[in-house]
Amino acid sequence: MTYATQNEEEYAGLDGAVARRLSNLSSVPHIPRINSFIPKLSDASLDHQRLLQRLNAYGLYEVKVSGDGNCQFRALSDQMYRSPDHHKHVRKEIVKQLKECRSLYEAYVPMKYKHYYKKMAKSGEWGDHVTLQAAADKFVAKICLLTSFRETCFVEIVPRYQAPQRELWLSFWSEVHYNSIYELQGQFLTKYMKVFYTSIILGYRLDLFEA
């Protein structure tokens, strides 16, 4: 099954706009790894606030996707097809990459590899940094993460053996959730800034743009 957008040039321009916003950031090397750490709720809340402040500082916003275990695949789907609804197709292609190119990823998986990719094929199974690398390789894309990490706010995942043909921009919150990110523009910018500063003043947790 093939999915395509009718406005590829327009969407490529959106990706380029995000890249220009973050052009002064230095990325850190990406090391594929499986999920092994889930933060405490209090730590995750602080991390989320840090991420929101970074998004605001760079004039970006999140398109939030459902936190149903498929968020990485939904966010990638939104970046590629401007809809999170093709997450099953995205997961299928990533698992296919894991199966067909075993030698590229097996060293990063501390369990029986066949068990790993079979588990990853199930809807609701969380994506990890191994699946991100497989996605970059499969879709020939540079995947750029704006993170909530205190020490590192920007991570790049690049295809191993090909020059990237596109960029996919995701936010990554505290090892638990991915969203799709874009540049703020026009009326949307005005609405976002109003809600953002109101939430800061009142001390509320900011949950914008829920799917």
Is the model more confident about 89 or about 24?
Answer: 89
Q: Which of 68, 85, 115, 207 is catalytic?
A: 68
Task: Count Cβ neighbours within 10 Å for each residue of 32-57 and write b for 16 or more, e otherwise.
Answer: beeeeeeeeeeebeebbebbbebbbe
Is the model more confident about 206 or about 120?
Answer: 120
Q: Which of 86, 87, 129, 177 is catalytic?
A: 177
78 is catalytic: no
Q: Check pLDDT > 50 for residue 180.
A: yes
In a domain, 5, yes or no: no
Contacts of 53 (CB under 8 A, 6+ apart): none
89 is catalytic: no
Q: Rounded to whole angstroms, how far apart are CA atoms 57 and 46? A: 17
In a domain, 27, yes or no: no
Is the model more confident about 164 or about 13?
Answer: 164
How large is the average pLDDT for residues 144-155?
87
In a domain, 23, yes or no: no
In a domain, 25, yes or no: no
Tell me the sheet residues that pair with 156: 144
147: CATH: 3.90.70.80
Task: Supply the range of the domain harboring residue 51.
Answer: 37-202
Calculate the average pLDDT of the chain: 79
In a domain, 153, yes or no: yes
In a domain, 134, yes or no: yes
Is residue 161 very low, low, confident or very high in pLDDT (cuts 50, 70, 90)?
Answer: very high
Comparing 11-20, 74-83, 94-103, which segment has the lowest mean pLDDT? Answer: 11-20
77 class by beta-carbon count within 10 Å (0-12 exposed, 13-18 middle, 19+ buried): buried
71 is catalytic: yes
Q: Check pLDDT > 70 for residue 165.
A: yes
State the total domains in the chain: 1
Q: Which of 47, 48, 71, 128 is catalytic?
A: 71
Is residue 197 very low, low, confident or very high in pLDDT (cuts 50, 70, 90)?
Answer: very low
Tell me the pLDDT tens digit for each residue of 90-145: 999 999 999 999 999 999 999 999 999 999 999 999 999 999 999 999 999 999 99
In a domain, 6, yes or no: no
pTM for this entry: 0.74
Is the model more confident about 47 or about 73?
Answer: 73
In a domain, 207, yes or no: no
Q: Rounded to whole angstroms, how far apart are CA atoms 178 and 192? A: 19
